Structures are given as C-alpha cells and as structure tokens.
A = this chain, B = another copy of it.
Amino acid sequence: MDPPKYRRKGALVTSPAVSSRDLPHPEVAEIRLESVLHALADPMRLRIVRELAAGGGELSCSYFDLPVTKSTTTHHFRVLRESGVIRQVYRGTAKMNGLRRDDLDGLFPGLLGALLDAAARQTARDLGDG
C-alpha cells in the first residue's frame, strides 16, 4: 500500500485532521425536525435512543446488542448522528454515543421528553399494561 489512505466517500486524504478521526455532526441550526422524526421512526434507532436516554452518559456502539449485523448497526448510528439526535466521538477503538439532549431541548422544547415518554408508554402497553 503506497501512501496511507484515509478514504471517505471518494475523498482521499493523506493525514487525519486530528489524532482521532472526527465525525461530521450537523450544527444546531442545521438540525431539521423532519430528519429527527425520520431517524426516530425506525424501531431499531428508537430503541438505541431510548437506551441512550436511560443510560444517562455515553455508551459505546458495542454496548448495544441489536438483532442486526454490525454494518447495519453502524448505519443506524450514522443516521442518528447525521440527523442531529446523537453525538459520536471516538475514544480509543471504541466509539462513544451520547444524546444531544441540550441541543434538541433548545431547538424543540419538550419534544425529546414527549417522544421518550411516548415510547415508554407504548412498550408498557405492548407488555399488557399492568
């Protein structure tokens, strides 16, 4: 392999920007409600977000035991990141994920809470209520 390559979607760079790879996140002003809803409309991603909310801090991708392959898991995390729902950062070999709760609450007050509450209610209902 000639020069070291850090390829991403056709781009070819000779060195990473920082020691850790950095991931593109939308600015707060770029976050679109439709994208957030689309991201959360997928059962797998809604589940990820719920676990993130329950977990409190940051969780690694491998923490999640999803019934899909790792490539699919990567895909879902990327959708969540690119829609502005989560923030991702590399820490060693792991990739830590955290909800962008403050950003979302600033943009859409009460939305995230209502969504998490709605998801919890639906789960309770699915389990036969009480």
Which A positions have Cβ atoms within 8 angstroms of B?
A: 29, 32-35, 37-38, 40-43, 46, 107-111, 113-115, 117-119, 121-122, 125
Contact = CB atoms under 8 A, between A and B. Distances in A.
A40 to B, nearest CB: 5
A125 B37 CA distance: 18
6 contacts: A37-B37, A108-B114, A108-B117, A110-B110, A110-B114, A114-B115
A35 B118 CA distance: 13
Contact of A122 (B32, B38, B40, B41): B32
Contact of A109 (B29, B46, B108, B117): B117
A33 B119 contact: yes
A111 B107 contact: no
Contact of A37 (B40, B113, B117): B40
